[in-house]
Structure 1
Amino acid sequence: MKFPANRPRLVLVVPSPASEGHTSETLLATLDKALTAGDIASVILDNAKADEASFQAFAALAVAKIQSSGAAAIVLNDTRTAGRVSADGVHIEGSRADIADAVERYTPKMIVGTGNVKERHTALEVGELQPDYMFFGKIGADSKAEAHPRNLSLAEWWAAMVEIPAIVQAGSKIDDLAACFATRAEFIALGAAVFSADKPEQVVADANRQLDEMSAADTEE
């Protein structure tokens, strides 16, 4: 599916199966609904506080669902599990040395992305390592309804001057998608907005509809 250049795509962030209020079963059921409700470019799997064996079992099922939908499956920090479940990539939240090592070892056979930068200088230093994308936000830190102003500001600055694609983390509701759209980031990440929703499929459908409308209106201006 081809989209206009000004139309960001969605990235899902799946909470860890060890996180409060979630289990592997509920997350997989929600993922099924979300993936069939509208366009999703990629999915990042959070593994916070999960033991390696149980997360790997969960990830194997999740990756199969994600890839069968046409999206890319990305695992947070755990390169070993990512390889074992044939994920498409890894998302590294760590030191500059960790990011550099992952880029050197796994590019181009896997997607290597990173994020959780809090100021411009660090972002530029990390950008010199040539990750496949920069995520403005921290995985799992979308508990507030609106996107964090710092993430919006950094994503807007980055998208205007750096070729490496930007993902901006939205809030726990999709009411502020216009602010995310305005950054010109190539992707918008939804986590709690989908996985804490009563009707996740409706959230994904509504988000895609809003982005279509914003893109069309922006083109007409």
Structure 2
Amino acid sequence: MPDVENRCRIVLIAPNVPEPDDARRIVADALRGGDVASVIVPQYGQDEAAFQKRAEAVVPVIQKAGAAALIAGDTRIAARAKADGLHVEGGKDDVAEAIERYAPQMIVGGGRAKDRHTALELGELRPDYIFLGKLDGDIKPDPHPKNIDLGHWWASMVEIPCVVMGGRSIESVVAVAKCSAEFVALHHAVFAIPEKAAMAVTEANALLDEKAPRFED
């Protein structure tokens, strides 16, 4: 079996499926497709009660598959749902507050780094990872060129792992991997057709096994 720890790995962004049972089934199906490092569960505008029910439905299946469950949205839900961590979409103040309150007991990642200045500001806070791009940024088949450039620059400069948003095409994982990012985030590329989510994860891992550069020991 290929050493997935030594190359770029997949981060899934859970789809906007409000019904908890449907969300649990779709995410569980995707995770049967192969290695996934973590799953980010966005709030998608749900109120607190509805989001908590959905989080409580999907977090156990994510963890059972050996991935980390990360909540993006109401930070209180992460503890209630017994998630592994938080994905913070706000600015440096929000990230700093989350780190102060929840680290190191929980994973805290910083998102929405749109340029080098923002990325460095977030990096100074020492989050567990930095997210380059937007959770809904996969609007084209290929990753956004700016995110690829940021990923290459970040990976060559900073030890904090980075997650780079991929595109709507499964093949986009190769471009992200080649910029030396530790993780590639996939959303529509996997969940656009829920019935084929597991197959998409399998294909993405096969591409990474074949074409992703290996990290130095």
TM-score band w.r.t. shorter chain: over 0.9
**In 2: Cα distance, 1:77 partner to 1:208 partner:** 28
Match of 1:101 in 2: 97
Instruction: Tell whether 2:113 aligns with 1:117.
Output: yes
Superposed CA offset, 1:137-161 (max 9, x none): 1112212211111111101110111
**Number of paired residues?**
214
Note the residue ranges of structure 1 that are not aligned, 5 or more in a row.
Answer: none
What is the identity, as a one-letter code, of the residue corresponding to 1:89? G
**In 2: Cα distance, 1:111 partner to 1:176 partner:** 26
| Structure 1 residues 40 and 179: CA distance shift in structure 2, 3 A | same
Match of 1:12 in 2: 12
What is the identity, as a one-letter code, of the residue corresponding to 1:12? L
For residues 1-221 of structure 1, what are the structure 2 equivalents within 5 Å? Answer: 3=3, 6-18=6-18, 23-197=19-193, 198-215=195-212
**In 2: Cα distance, 1:144 partner to 1:206 partner:** 19
Instruction: Provide TM-score, normalisation by structure 2.
Output: 0.92
| Structure 1 residues 178 and 2: CA distance shift in structure 2, 3 A | closer
Q: What's the RMSD between the two structures over aligned residues? A: 1.8
| Structure 1 residues 42 and 191: CA distance shift in structure 2, 3 A | same
| Structure 1 residues 52 and 44: CA distance shift in structure 2, 3 A | same
Instruction: Provide TM-score, normalisation by structure 1.
Output: 0.91
